Amino acid sequence: MNRVQRLLIASTFSATLVVAVPVSADIAVVGNAGSGIDRLTQSDVVNIFMGRYRKLPTGNVALPVDSTTLKARFYRALVNKDLAEINSYWARLVFSGEASPPQQIATIDDVHQLVTQNMNALSYVDGGQVPDDMHVVLMLSE
């Protein structure tokens, strides 16, 4: 078996994996590839997206970004809550003037642009469709 054949087999194998991932449908929490952050724990991500504590391990201020198309899946996987509960949670913090919710971005392209341009941005994408220029800091299983 020559090198080309091995490469072909390997790529076929990984292509199968890529196809298989959306079935298990995980959510990938992603950041900027150059952010210097390797991994975040689930409680780090809860703290950042729920407005409790927004400091990154690098010391910078995290900029959480909600992707409105995936928002329901993300919060179900992160804190087991639906969007009405998330809005109820934020209503308390916003109208007591204590904290602000993540920035809301409607299209996946805009989320991609924001995360790749801002060193401290964090968002989430479908676990099966992580773009090469985004860095996965946490996988949330659904």
Partner 1 sequence: MRRLLPVCLGLMLSVTSVVAEARPLTDDGRLTFSGFGTLGLVHSNQGDAGFIRDISQPKGADKGWSARTDSLLGAQVGYRLTDELDAVVQGISRYGEDGNYRPEVSWAFLRYRPDPSVQLRVGRLGWDVYQLADSRYVGYAYPWARPPVDHFGILQLTHIDGGDVTFKQPVGSDLMLLKLYAGRSSSKIYLIDDLSADFDVDSVYGGHVDYETGPWRFRTSYTEVHSDVGFSGSVADQIEQIPFLALDADTVLGDIFGFDRIRLFSLGTLYDRGPLQVQVMWNRSQTSRHEGQIDSGFVSVGYRIDRVTPYVVASRVETSSTNPDNSDIDQRTWSLGARYDVTTNMALKAQFDRIDTRSPGFLWRQDDSDWNGGWSSVFSLGLDFIF
**Segment contacting partner 1 (CB under 8 A): 15-23, 40-48, 110-118, 128-136?**
40-48
- Show the binding pattern over residues 108-137: x = contacts partner 1 (CB under 8 A), - = does not: ------------------------------
Comparing CB distances to partner 1, the nearer of 64 and 127 is 64
Given the complex with partner 1, which of 71 and 126 has the nearer CB atom?
71
Q: What is the 3-state secondary structure (H, E, C) of the chain?
A: CCHHHHHHHHHHHHHHHHHHHHHHCCEEEEEECCCCCCCCCHHHHHHHHCCCCCECCCCCECEEEEECCCHHHHHHHHHCCCHHHHHHHHHHHHHCCCCCCCEEECCHHHHHHHHHHCCCEEEEEECCCCCCCEEEEEEECC
Q: Is 61 in the site for partner 1 (CB under 8 A)?
A: yes
